[in-house]
Amino acid sequence: MILQRLFALFLLAVCAALAVMAWPYQAAFSYEPVGPRAYPLLMLGLMAAGLLYLAFRPTPIVHKDDEPELDRETLNKIGLCVALLLVFAATFEPLGFIVSSILIGVPMARLYGGRWLPSVVIIGLMSIALYWLFDRVMDVPLPLGLLDVLEN
C-alpha cells in the first residue's frame, strides 16, 4: 500500500511540473476557440485529482477475483494497443483523421472480440461523426488527408 501511495505522489509531482511548464505557453496564432494550453492543463488537473484520491484514500487497492490476470494474452493485447496508437499518430496527418481512425479502430475492435461487419460499420460511422463534430460543431480543424478531394 505504501508503494501505491508513493507512486501516486511521485506522479502528482510530475503533473505539477508539467502544469508549471504548460502554464506560460502562448501560441503565435490561435486556431482553436479555447487556445492551445487549455487541454493539457485540463488533463493535468484531472490526473492530479485522481492521483490525490489514490494517495490519500483509506484502503489499498486489492486484486479481486473478477479482474483479469496480467497474463501473456493480456500483456500482448496491451502491447498491440500501444502499437496501434503509435500507428494512428504516424498516419494521422498523411492519411487524415477519418481514414486513420478506421485503419486503427477496426483492428482495435477485432482485438477485443468485435465481429468484422459491425466493427467496420460502427467505426466508419463514428469516424465520420467525430470528424463532423470536431470540424463543424467545435470548430477544431482535423486533417482530411487522402479524402482532401472531398473538401470544397
The domain segmentation of the chain, as residue ranges, is 1-62, 66-152
Contact, 52 vs 5, CB < 8 A? no
- 124 closest CA partner among 132, 113, 136: 132
Averaged over 62-81, what is the pLDDT? 79
pTM: 0.60
Give the model confidence (pLDDT) of 77-136 as tens digits: 889 999 999 999 999 888 988 999 999 999 999 998 889 999 999 999 999 999 888 888
Phi, psi (deg, nearest 5) at residue 96: 95, 165
